[in-house]
Amino acid sequence: LVNRAIQGRYAPGSTFKPVTAIAALLRPGFDPEETYPCEGVFVLGTMRLRCSNTYGHGPVALSKGIEQSCNSYFCHLGQTVGYEAICEQARLLGLGQKTGLDLPSENAGLLPDAAQKERSGGGRWRPGDTCHLAIGQGQLLTTPLQMAALTAAFANGGTLVRPFLARYERQPEKVRELGWPTQALARVREGMRDVAALGTGRRVQVRGVEVAAKTGTAEYDSGGVRRKNTWVTAFAPFAQPSVAVAIVVENG
């Protein structure tokens, strides 16, 4: 009897990476063409965080990082940008808050930061926490509906809208304009288009329709057993989107 669309809380995995990307693109001096060498694992102190390609993606810039969902690049990006900038964009996109859907019992998820971590007894925020946040893991928890609304904001040009049940026909209610520069938004959108055309999301292609997408896999612990939830978020048609979706498969 759990409505997973609004009550299921899941780490979004790599479907969160567009948030990290837009946070980086808003940072003065950030060069999206600058490459980072992915060798298949990101090492930070004693932490070793594997990439989807065991042998590494080689030199990776922002567009390729989104297309190939390169953990090494996004961990590096997280360290470059800092968790505060990533959290700021995540909050503006509605994470950690209820969407306001016209159904009861919606879950707000969890957007972690240094204050929240200390309150929960986890100690101080560490660089490894920033890495996990940058790739959509760690303590970050979202509902599928939140991720659909987030994806819609990238689709529609940078407006967060409040979702509502389709049976109640009305105009979408704007929550806020995100104020992203056109070029920054275009970079992320084009990266998501490449995900579906060339990268990790090729299976979401639809004949005759140009789709943009982001895939994700998020590990979690269940009674001492490591399991994985798999995600895809997408919007279409690319040029004039009318649909945004978020799909999660438990233990996928």
Residues β-bridged to residue 221:
226
Q: How far is CA 91 from the centre of its chain?
A: 12
Residue with tokens 């490449």: 194
Torsions phi, psi for 215 (to 5 deg):
-100, 165
Cβ(139)–Cβ(121) below 8 Å:
no
Of 14, 63, 69, 72, which is the active-site residue?
14
* Tally: H helices and E strands in the chain: 9, 9
Q: Is 222 a catalytic residue?
A: no
Q: CB-based contacts of 90: which residues, under 8 Å, 6+ apart?
A: 16, 19, 96, 111
Per-residue CA distances from 196 to 32, 113, 135, 236, 238 (Å): 20, 31, 19, 11, 11
Q: What are the residue numbers of the active site?
A: 14
